[in-house]
Every structure is written in C-alpha cells, then in structure tokens.
Amino acid sequence: MSAPLSPPSAPARREPLTDALTTPDGEVVLTLNHSVALVVFDLLARLLDRHDAEGVRDLLEHPAEVAALWSLMATFEQVLDEPKEADYRKLIAAAREGVVARLGAGA
C-alpha cells in the first residue's frame, strides 16, 4: 500500500519520493526520482567518507544513526552508475540542477 505523497489540497508538483510502501515483513520500499537519489548519495558520501563520518557524529544521537546512513549510502552505490563514471562531477552538477528545477531551491 502506498503512502499519500501530499495532502489533496497541495498544488500539483513532481515529488522526490514517487512511491513508498511497507512490505508484510516490515521492509520499507522507497521509489525516488533518479536525480534526487544521486544528490542524496553524493551528500552522504561527502558526509560519511570524510574522516569516517567524523563531521556528522556530533549531530547524531546514537551510533546506529551512522550505521544506518552508511547502509543507505551503500544501497545507493549498488543502484547508481554515475559514481563510477569518469565525468561524475558533471553528472552530479546536472542532477543538482534538475532537483532545484523540479523541487525548488528550498525543497
């Protein structure tokens, strides 16, 4: 069963999360816009890869949060091809522009 994405009175716009559900065994399944997924991956990679997540540890309340973020980043790494591409910087720049165009700068 999909979760509602926005209240009925909200203006129509393309959301970063296009579908979400919980499976019978409790797994959460998210469907993201590709550009949003790439931008989130890049953010996680920068936050976590620098000094073994030292930059974000002060912001987190429990060690499980770092582990969960690493898990999310690893999942993105498995499904995204762009991080392996030679022109990754160009691809992430285009993805960022796409996200801003789609969702706005404050989204």
CA distance 45 to 42: 5
| pLDDT score, position 106 | 66
In tens, the pLDDT along 9-42 reads 343 455 666 788 999 999 999 999 999 999 999 9
Number of H helices, E strands in the chain: 4, 2
Position 107 scores a pLDDT of 52
Question: Token pair for residue 94?
Answer: 């285009």
Question: pLDDT tens digit string along 71-95?
Answer: 999 999 999 999 999 999 999 999 9
Q: Where are the domains of the chain?
A: 33-103
Token couple for 36: 């949003």
- pLDDT, residue 63, reads 87
